[in-house]
Amino acid sequence: MLKPALRLSLVLTAALSLTACATTSTTGPVAEAPTPLDGWSQRVQVQSEADEIRLAAHATGLSGNQARALSDFHVRWMQAEGGVITIAAPRDSGQDAGAYRVSADARSFLVSLGAPTDRVRLVGYDAGGDRQAPIVVGYERYVAVAPTCGGWSTMTATFKNDPHAGFGCAIAANTAAQVANPEDLVRGRNMDPADPNRRATVLEKYRKGQTTGSARDPQGTGTISQAIQ
């Protein structure tokens, strides 16, 4: 017969075992550590900077040189897929009429080149009586700054089966150098609007039980020639 002390010990052990089996973990999933490639890609810095040109105020409006400068500016804006273009005209400069004339002409000229009207804005700033205060035309663009790679001397100085310290740096640097629009590294692009006409055609065919796909082009079929060339 078991002694009372031993019997109590066995009961407590069994109870603790059942409690452990019924206990559920309260911790969430453990996030995996980033790979060396992920670590280097996170070191690519995307910075915003202003691309600006400055135009002098003229009572006669936009000059030929200013129009050519705006044309080059518009090309850069298109290539950078820039956002809102701001035309800042000086106030209280002593040449308010000329500044307004050049600002209005600059906006009309940019719109004529293809810039949407809602993305070319006229604003003002206090010139503090400076007669040389320019009209500032600019937009914010993004620049990708690549990490600095190096330290290749440690590639063989290891006793572990781990990648060397610079593994992945070249890939990150090449990505930063080749990306067309660094803003894509910051946020995704908006989806293009759907084609309502095509959608209506597909739904109409579906309701009639017809094939919703486009008709097959007969020129898209063919056979492999068996002739000896």
Residue 71 lies in a domain: yes
**pLDDT per residue as tens digits for the range 99-111:** 999 999 999 999 9
| Average pLDDT, integer, range 151-157 | 67
Query: Which residues, other chains included, contact 192 with Cβ-Cβ below 8 Å and sequence gap of 6+?
Result: none
Which of 2-11, 46-55, 62-71, 160-169 is predicted with the least confidence, judged by mean pLDDT? 2-11
* 174 inside domain: no
Q: What would the mean pLDDT of 181-195 be, rounded to a whole number?
A: 83
Flag whether 131 is in a domain.
yes
pLDDT at residue 112, rounded to an integer: 95
pLDDT of 55 > 90? The answer is yes
Residue 55 tokens read as 């135009």
Domain harbouring 60, CATH code: 3.30.1330.60
The pLDDT tens digits for 77-87 are 998 888 899 99
User: What pLDDT does residue 12 have?
Assistant: 46
Could you tell me if residue 107 is inside a domain? yes
Least confident of 11-25, 37-51, 106-120: 11-25
**pLDDT at residue 229 tops 70:** no
Give whole-number Cα distances, 208 to 197, 200, 213, 215, in Å: 17, 12, 13, 16
Judge contact between 5 and 137, C-beta under 8 A: no
Q: Which stretches within the chain are classed as H helix?
A: 4-22, 36-41, 64-79, 96-112, 169-178, 196-207
Q: Specify if 132 maps to a domain.
A: yes
Total count of domains within the chain? 1
- With respect to residue 35, please indicate whether it lies within any of the assigned structural domains: no
Rg (CA), the chain: 34
Say whether pLDDT at 4 is over 60. no
From 66-70, 100-104, 186-190, 206-210, the region with the lowest mean pLDDT = 186-190
pTM: 0.59
Residues 6 or more apart whose CB falls under 8 angstroms from that of 103 comprise 87, 89, 122, 135
Q: Using the predicted structure, report yes or no on whether residue 23 has a pLDDT greater than 50.
A: no
Cβ proximity of 179 and 51 under 8 Å: no
Domain annotation covers residue 219: no
Residue 25 lies in a domain: no
Q: What is the mean pLDDT of residues 136-163?
A: 80
Residue 121 lies in domain: 49-141
Cα–Cα distance for residue pair 108/74, rounded to 1 Å: 13
Q: What CA–CA distance (Å, rounded) separates 116 from 84?
A: 9
